[in-house]
């Protein structure tokens, strides 16, 4: 039986309906590379009993999105610079982060998910980081081609001996970059696992996690089938999910 992972949905207004959805590249990478079945969790926030829900899952994956975590979640007044928002996803994803860690369940947080992980544990986010002194422009290239928008454009350097380095190695790797926000104050309990050349935090891990608990600011899902570091991230997540699922089944028996 394939293990299953919970994926927090985005909420979109389309054709007079509110849609709960997730981008296919993440789901395809989870299924084809990690070898796990992604199951969408609707963004109903506090209406969901997260602990009860996660008892049916073997891991959690948080995807990227065009929306940003609402700054009130980390004590900042909202401005147009922080938009757009999806407060229903905030309520759902932050609860999934905390629930997964409490359960010792594997967690893979990508892009928006990376920022959700930081906020869920008490950190904050900086808006429009390309305007900060010394920072590069981490936004996506202007193009109609998705391959161009998601191309590998800059290097990140894993921390030697860290959790990320154990997965992809300690040598710098090229990653894609599609974000205008980044970690400002690092949450207590998070460890920096990689930075970009301009000092932007690009990967973190949860220091006391009982299982794989890694977040990356870039988008390994897009090239997971062809780029070795991207593939290794999903393979490591899948292996951790299978270990967790096997442990649960053994305990139940």
Tell me which residue range forms the domain holding 50: 4-252
Element (H or E) spanning 10, and its range? Answer: strand 10-14
Specify the number of domains making up the chain.
1
Instruction: Give the global pTM.
Output: 0.95
Instruction: Indicate whether 252 pLDDT > 50.
Output: no
Start-to-end CA span in the chain (Å): 16
**Residue whose structure tokens are 């050349």:** 197
3-class secondary-structure state, position 180: coil
Which residue bears the tokens 């900042």? 76
173-189 residue pLDDT tens:
999 999 999 999 999 99
Rg (CA), the chain: 17
Residue 239 belongs to domain with CATH number: 3.40.50.880
Mean pLDDT over residues 5-15, rounded?
95
Q: What is the overall mean pLDDT for the chain? A: 95
For residues 64 and 68, give the distance between their C-alpha atoms in angstroms, rounded to a whole number.
Answer: 9
pLDDT, tens digit (0-9, with 9 covering 90-100), for 25-55: 999 999 999 999 999 999 999 999 999 999 9
Give the E-state strand segments of 111-243 in sequence order. Answer: 125-126, 154-158, 173-175, 182-183, 190-196, 201-206, 213-216
Contacts by 19-28 with C-beta closer than 8 Å and gap 24+? 22/63, 23/63, 23/64, 23/65, 25/219, 25/221, 25/222, 26/61, 26/63, 26/64, 26/110, 26/221, 28/221
Q: What is the DSSP letter of 130?
A: G
Residues annotated as catalytic are 111, 219, 221
What is residue 175's predicted lDDT score, i.e. its pLDDT? 97
DSSP 51-97: HHHHTT-SEEEE---SSB--GGGGT----GGG--B-HHHHHHHHHHH
């Amino acid at each position: 039986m394939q293990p299953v992972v919970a994926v927090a949905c985005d909420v979109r207004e389309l054709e007079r309906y509110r849609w709960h959805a997730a981008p296919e590249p993440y789901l395809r990478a989870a299924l084809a590379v990690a070898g796990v079945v992604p199951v969408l969790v609707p963004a109903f926030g506090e209406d969901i009993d997260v602990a009860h829900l996660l008892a049916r899952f073997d891991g959690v994956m948080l995807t990227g999105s065009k929306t940003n975590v609402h700054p009130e979640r980390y004590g900042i007044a909202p401005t147009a610079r922080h938009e757009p928002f999806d407060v229903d996803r905030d309520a759902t994803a932050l609860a999934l982060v905390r629930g997964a860690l409490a359960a010792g369940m594997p967690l893979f947080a990508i892009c928006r998910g990376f920022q959700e992980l930081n906020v869920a544990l008490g950190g904050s986010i900086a808006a429009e980081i390309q305007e900060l002194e010394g920072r590069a422009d981490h936004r996506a290239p202007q193009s109609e081609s998705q391959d161009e928008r998601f191309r590998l454009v800059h290097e990140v350097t894993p921390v030697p001996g860290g959790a990320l380095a154990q997965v992809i190695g300690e040598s710098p790797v090229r990653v894609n970059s599609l974000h205008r926000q980044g970690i400002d104050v690092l949450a207590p309990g998070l460890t920096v696992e990689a930075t970009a050349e301009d000092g932007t935090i690009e990967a973190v891990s949860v220091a006391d996690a009982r299982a794989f608990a890694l977040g990356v600011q870039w988008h390994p899902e897009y090239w997971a089938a062809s780029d070795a570091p991207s593939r290794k991230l999903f393979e490591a997540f899948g292996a951790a999910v299978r270990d967790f699922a096997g442990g649960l089944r053994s305990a139940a028996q």
